């Protein structure tokens, strides 16, 4: 690469102008092709048959049911993982105990396993041929092909997000402030709410957003356990697939645009948050 004639001061690790331009161009083209273009296509296709079809697709009872179910699942999965994530991060960052490494590995499991496999685990666990399934069936509890199964699968898939966000942050901060708080007479809850929580609030919020985005968008694990009963066990991603397979492309894209919109809102909030606490976390970003 050619480098410009030495001018004034140059950054020690600065690259030549052409190197920089090339790298930036490659990154932009890639982003454009792989991310922005598909997103645009979603919206273009959604309106390809006109605004009427778009509104009809969204107003369909099945769509509304899917939206309700998606929001319900997220509304259960996110708080559950909020509690679990904070508890796990607290335990791992602040205490020494046997099995800590094992717990850390377990938290990563949903990232490592394919979502479809995760879904199958629940089928094996609660299916007609399992031990648990018939037992629960006898007392009238249906897990598979019902809302509980979808919630369980979603909780499983999304549980690393908050814990993973908090652990490095809490480890970096250490336990000195908590020790100071207890030595000053504060009990466990006061220490947690007044000292620990304020110190991790941005990381926590970021983790919640990521967790929420995934909870609303999860497809693989949910499709295995849901049984795709229209209007009953279809979340938005499943509903989109059904519409698409029914050759209702415009309607499918219309619903997809709704899901994309939810994701965009999440992204916008995330960007706003990052601007506020980028310094403290940038070095340890995991995903």
Q: In angstroms, what is the minimal distance from the CB of 183 to another protein?
A: 4
Residue 140 Rama label (left phi>0; alpha psi -120 to 50; beta) = left
Q: In angstroms, what is the minimal distance from the CB of 168 to another protein?
A: 17
CA atoms within 13 A on the CB side of 87: 8
Q: Does 180 bind another protein (CB under 8 A)?
A: yes
Q: Does 91 bind another protein (CB under 8 A)?
A: no
Residue from 183, 247, 271, 279 touching another protein (CB under 8 A): that is: 183
User: With CB under 8 A as the contact rule, which of the stretches 40-48, 118-126, 142-150, 178-186 interacts with another protein?
Assistant: 178-186
> Using CB under 8 A, which residues numbered 190 to 229 contact another protein?
190, 194-195, 198-199
d(CA 28, CA 182): 51
Q: State the number of binding residues for another protein (CB under 8 A).
A: 16
Residue from 28, 184, 265, 268 touching another protein (CB under 8 A): that is: 184
Q: In angstroms, what is the minimal distance from the CB of 197 to another protein?
A: 10
Q: In angstroms, what is the minimal distance from the CB of 147 to another protein?
A: 39
Residue closer to another protein by CB (options 161, 202) is 202
Neighbours of 142 (CB within 10 A): 13
d(CA 162, CA 210): 8
What is the DSSP-derived secondary structure letter of residue 47?
T
Q: In angstroms, what is the minimal distance from the CB of 212 to another protein?
A: 25
Residue 60 CA: distances (Å) to CA of 23, 45, 135: 46, 18, 37
Site string for another protein, 147-176 (x = CB under 8 A): -----------------------------x
CA atoms within 13 A on the CB side of 46: 21
Residue ranges in contact with another protein by CB under 8 A = 176-177, 179-187, 190, 194-195, 198-199
């Amino acid at each position: 690469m050619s480098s410009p004639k030495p001018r004034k001061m140059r950054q020690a690790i600065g690259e030549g102008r052409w190197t920089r331009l090339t790298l930036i161009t490659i990154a932009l083209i890639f982003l454009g092709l792989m991310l922005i273009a598909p997103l645009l296509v979603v919206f273009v296709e959604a309106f390809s048959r006109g605004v009427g079809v778009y509104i009809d697709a969204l107003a369909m009872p099945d769509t509304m049911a899917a939206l309700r179910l998606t929001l319900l699942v997220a509304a259960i999965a996110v708080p559950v993982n909020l509690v679990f994530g904070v508890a796990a991060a607290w335990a791992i960052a602040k205490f020494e105990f046997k099995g800590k490494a094992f717990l850390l590995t377990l938290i990563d499991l949903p990232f490592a396993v394919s979502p479809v496999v995760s879904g199958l685990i629940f089928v094996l666990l609660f299916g007609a041929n399992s031990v648990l399934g018939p037992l629960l069936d006898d007392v009238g509890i249906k897990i598979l092909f019902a809302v509980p199964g979808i919630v369980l699968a979603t909780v499983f898939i999304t549980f690393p997000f908050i814990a993973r966000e908090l652990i490095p942050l809490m480890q970096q901060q250490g336990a000195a402030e908590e020790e100071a708080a207890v030595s000053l007479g504060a009990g466990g809850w006061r220490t947690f709410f007044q000292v620990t929580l304020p110190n991790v609030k941005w990381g926590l919020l970021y983790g919640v957003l990521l967790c929420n985005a995934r909870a609303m968008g999860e497809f693989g694990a949910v499709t295995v356990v849901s049984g795709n009963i229209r209007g009953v066990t279809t979340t938005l991603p499943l509903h989109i697939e059904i519409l698409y397979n029914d050759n209702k492309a415009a309607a499918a894209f219309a619903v997809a645009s709704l899901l994309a919109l939810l994701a965009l809102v999440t992204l916008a909030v995330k960007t706003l948050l990052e601007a506020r606490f980028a310094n403290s976390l940038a070095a340890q970003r995991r995903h």
